[in-house]
Amino acid sequence: MQNCLSKITLMLFSGLLAAFFLLPVNLNASDSNEAGIKIMQKEVLGSFLAAGNGMTLYAYSRDEKNVSSCIEGCARNWPPYYAGPSLPAEGLEDKDFATITRDDGSKQTTYKGMPLYRFIKDRYPGDVFGNGLGGVWSIVKP
């Protein structure tokens, strides 16, 4: 009986341990809104804004000043970016940044009145796969 309990305990522990290590871990940096905004540079594109973790920030041409029109499915693919009350990078002015409250009650950072977004398919810092997409998405130039 003791041997049987030990085996069951070992199997349960092994199963839990395996489940812990096999659970999908999202290492996608785009899911992180590390505080702050910084300036990134790409040879062809020049300077553009990025989250503190290096993920590119985008503007949606269908937005109005201080109003986000990217909701529901759009917001799943283009998550609104919120930097919180952090200081922008050197070369950027505090007065150019503000926070709006979206229709769903969440907060979003704006740059010169334009709401900021990330793109779900950008996987690594500096990716710009959303730039020009649909003719309505663009990187944000400082």
* Residue 70: closest CA among 23, 118, 37, 6: 118
- Does 82 reside within a domain? yes
At 24-44, the pLDDT tens digits run 333 333 334 456 899 999 999
Residue 84: predicted pLDDT: 84
3 pLDDT band (50/70/90 cuts)?
Answer: low
2 pLDDT band (50/70/90 cuts)?
Answer: low
- Does 127 reside within a domain? yes
- Does 1 reside within a domain? no
- Does 133 reside within a domain? yes
Q: Which domain holds residue 133?
A: 34-139
- Does 57 reside within a domain? yes
Mean per-residue pLDDT, 36-61 = 95
21, pLDDT greater than 70: no
Distance CA 22, CA 15 (A): 10
- Does 86 reside within a domain? yes
9, pLDDT greater than 60: no
- Does 75 reside within a domain? yes
In the chain, the number of structural domains is: 1
- Does 72 reside within a domain? yes
pTM, entire model: 0.75
Q: What Å distances lie between residue 58 and 19, 22, 26, 142, CA to CA?
A: 37, 33, 22, 12
Residue 29: predicted pLDDT: 36
Residue 86: predicted pLDDT: 74
Contact 138, 58 (CB under 8 A): yes
72 vs 86, which has greater pLDDT?
Answer: 72
Structure tokens at 121: 């398919």
Residue 85: predicted pLDDT: 77
Mean per-residue pLDDT, 9-17 = 43
Residue 91: predicted pLDDT: 83
56 vs 29, which has greater pLDDT?
Answer: 56
Q: Helix, strand or coil for residue 136? A: coil
Distance CA 2, CA 8 (A): 10
11 vs 124, which has greater pLDDT?
Answer: 124
